Chain A
């Protein structure tokens, strides 16, 4: 097997079509769409998805990491987070920017063996606007952006304007999604200022100026999910109170819930029935409190030439995991 590093995606695509390459790893959505009808190329998606595109809400004021001492003036109100959820049209994002390869996901427990039956949130701009009204965020000056008029988390007149960050490496589909979400939230009076940074800046350690570890954000969007079949460690690192300490984990929103933490301790058991029950209880808590807003899964696929057979993408490993079984026709 000869491995060639071809940095440019369009060159890789052309090489595959021309038959000069047999495999392209981590094929992106636009490339899948371009390749799907080519006679000598096959796209092999993983049978299960792992990566869930999600919005992280900072529950502490931007630049701080303690949501109790310094709560976020906008996002610490649950109704605001719920309004944001109701204002995002996931189906349009999937169809337009991820070219139909994104599948709606609204809970961490969307795939076997731990699936929990939670109703899918509805896209409803009117309901979203009503939630913001109820939370005391109104646009009284008619400039299209709401201000705090009776809200409980900010000073009177505080403008509903936030920074919305994503990372550059994913590419165009995510950047378009970021812009689309900003437009949609703009319709209900939430103004988002968009920023695109490198992953190393977004996820860097606090000493390296990492945006999330230092709490230097309002909202950001990126994708992650647990590998394999056991979500326990993943849940700990994203939702436990211990993981909310800078550099200790990835609970960037600094959400804390004692009951959730207790359940996290309980699921370290071999009793599958208990685990399923606990996980679904956790799912309900996360759905009710919305520390993160899960939107959709992204595709995990690799493209290969038709002459290369038995290729099977896996969301848990590189596509080469079963290369011993590959056959060239």
Chain B
């Protein structure tokens, strides 16, 4: 196993190197640029554009820009004041040395920008996915063992609806109902806040306030996951409970709950755990629609805004770190799979 993991890690490094070239090229070759007008800001003075290009290093050929992004520019002279003349050595260290550059929009280091938002996204997504699993597990199990019952048919209908309803629509409806229409019987104010992580003006940590602000975004984000995981577990359970060893267990006189939870569920959970491992990158990437709709300052919104602004350093950092997460979660899924299923051996 150790050899296998080592080999996969080496492959991961190669894959990330290849991805870095592809992502850098794709992001830079897409139409539009970081110095174009956006939204209501139509234009930037052409002279200022040239100055910024030199300061940001965007006047350099693409391969040079890639090299600087990768290994930094502290070994070469750069035009810091943008006057057209090289005046001093650069200060960037490159992503290989943990420097992802600075945001073109805010001039803040990329890792600072990500560091401000990543905890918020992990906070939201961990609760969303955790809750989704907790709800999906009993639903999936009961649906399987009561196949074609009223519960199963109802849950199946809701599952399809849950997968089909777009998050942006569901979120708006929930805001309309729980913020605009329903009132808190004690205060007379809205029942739930429409967004944000805390109430405006709140100071310090207030658990109740935090929970209230989580309800709508978590409900919006979790519905699709609940539907997806419960359907997956249902079919996995159905596959397992018709196997010979389950029949044998029953024939030996084991109690039904023991057969289901000790023999069937453990095996049915293996593919679900793998699926969960593959979904782990969402905890990093966040949910764009939920974060936009509920004004949640997380990674999804950061990425969306960076894409609109053509803020290349942010875009590239999110993409490459996200790619790393996906590759590593795939590896994790393989390892977990081998751990849960003793028949699997990696050579």
Q: Is A18 interfacial (CB-CB < 8 Å)? A: yes
A26 at the interface (CB under 8 A from B): yes
Q: Is B176 an interface residue (CB 8 A)?
A: yes
Closest A residue to B183 by CB, please name it: A18
B33 touches A210 (CB 8 A): yes
**Is B176 a contact of A200 with CB atoms below 8 Å?**
no
At the interface, yes or no: B195 with Cβ under 8 Å from chain A? yes
List B contacts of A8 (CB < 8 A): 172, 292-293, 295
**Contact residue range for chain A?**
35 or more
> Counting CB contacts under 8 A, is B175 at the interface?
yes
Interface segment, one of B3-11, B35-43, B84-92, B234-242:
B35-43
Known: A7-B301, A26-B40, A249-B46. A198 touches B190 (CB 8 A): no
Cβ contact of B190, chosen from A20, A209, A211, cutoff 8 A = A20
Q: Is A14 an interface residue (CB 8 A)?
A: yes
Contact call A2/B31, Cβ cutoff below 8 A: no
Partner of B293, one of A11, A18, A210, A224: A11
A11-B295, A200-B309 as given contacts; A169 in contact with B38, CB under 8 Å: yes
Q: Is the CB of B194 within 8 A of A203?
A: no
Interface SS of chain B: loop
B284-328 CB contact bits vs A (8 Å, 1 = yes)? 000000001101010001000000111000000000000000000
Contact B194 A210 (CB under 8 A): no
Which residues of chain A are within 8 angstroms of B49 by Cβ–Cβ distance?
205, 247
- Which A233-249 residues have a C-beta within 8 angstroms of B? 237, 247-249
How many B residues are at the interface, by size bracket?
20 to 34
Bound-state Cα–Cα, A211 to B36, Å = 11
Does B271 lie at the interface of the complex (its beta carbon under 8 Å from any beta carbon of A)? Answer: no
Q: Is A269 an interface residue (CB 8 A)?
A: no
For A204, give the chain B residue with the smallest CB separation: B36
Known A2-B200, A200-B32, A200-B38: A14·B292 in contact at CB below 8 Å: no
Most A-side CB within 10 Å, residue of B32, B49, B301: B32
Contacts of A11 in B (CB 8 A): 172, 175, 194-195, 293, 295
Question: Within 8 Å CB of A210, what residues of B?
Answer: 31-33, 36
**12 A-B pairs, CB-CB below 8 angstroms?**
A2-B201, A6-B194, A7-B293, A7-B295, A17-B180, A18-B180, A169-B39, A169-B40, A199-B36, A200-B33, A201-B31, A209-B31
Q: Nearest 8 pairs between A and B by C-beta?
A: A208-B33, A204-B36, A200-B32, A209-B31, A201-B32, A200-B36, A169-B39, A203-B37
